[in-house]
């Protein structure tokens, strides 16, 4: 068998192996992070109530409309990064702490 045919077969095998490993890694990673669309709102609501704040007060501190905060808390809207940041600061916690609570679904 000529060497170019051997190299071609090795190349095809390497490509197949790469795609199988990539697919396996993607599937494992997606299984590790289970998205809960209600977690962010539930955590924010719990923290707001623990601090004795109304939606009006928290939304004012965060520079949001009260209706927007309400939709986040009920799961009707998902907060973007800037909104999470603003809410965290308004709750007097660091943004990464709020994200960690959401990740852990610490409601």
Residue-wise pLDDT for 42-100, tens only, equals: 999 999 999 999 999 999 999 999 999 999 999 999 999 999 999 999 999 999 999 99
Q: Is 33 helix (H, G, I), strand (E, B) or coil?
A: coil
Using an 8 Å Cβ cutoff, are 59 and 71 in contact?
A: no
Q: Which one is predicted more confidently, 59 or 35? A: 59
- Tell whether the model's pLDDT for residue 6 goes beyond 90: no
State the Cα torsion 98-104-106-107 to the nearest 10°.
Answer: 90
Tokens representing 80 are 């973007």
Q: Which residue has the tokens 């702490």?
A: 97
Please tell me the pTM assigned to this model.
Answer: 0.68
Helix axes 95-103, 39-50, angle to 10 degrees: 120
């Amino acid at each position: 068998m000529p060497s170019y045919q051997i190299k071609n077969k090795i190349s095809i095998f390497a490509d197949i192996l790469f795609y199988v490993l990539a697919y396996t890694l993607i599937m494992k990673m997606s299984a590790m992070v289970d998205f809960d669309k209600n977690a962010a709102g539930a955590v924010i609501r719990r923290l707001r109530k623990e601090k004795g704040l109304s939606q009006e007060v928290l939304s004012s501190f965060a520079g949001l409309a009260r209706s927007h905060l309400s939709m986040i808390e009920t799961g009707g809207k998902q907060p973007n990064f800037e909104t999470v940041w603003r809410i965290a600061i308004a709750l007097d916690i660091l943004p990464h702490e709020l994200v960690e609570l959401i990740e852990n679904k610490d409601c």
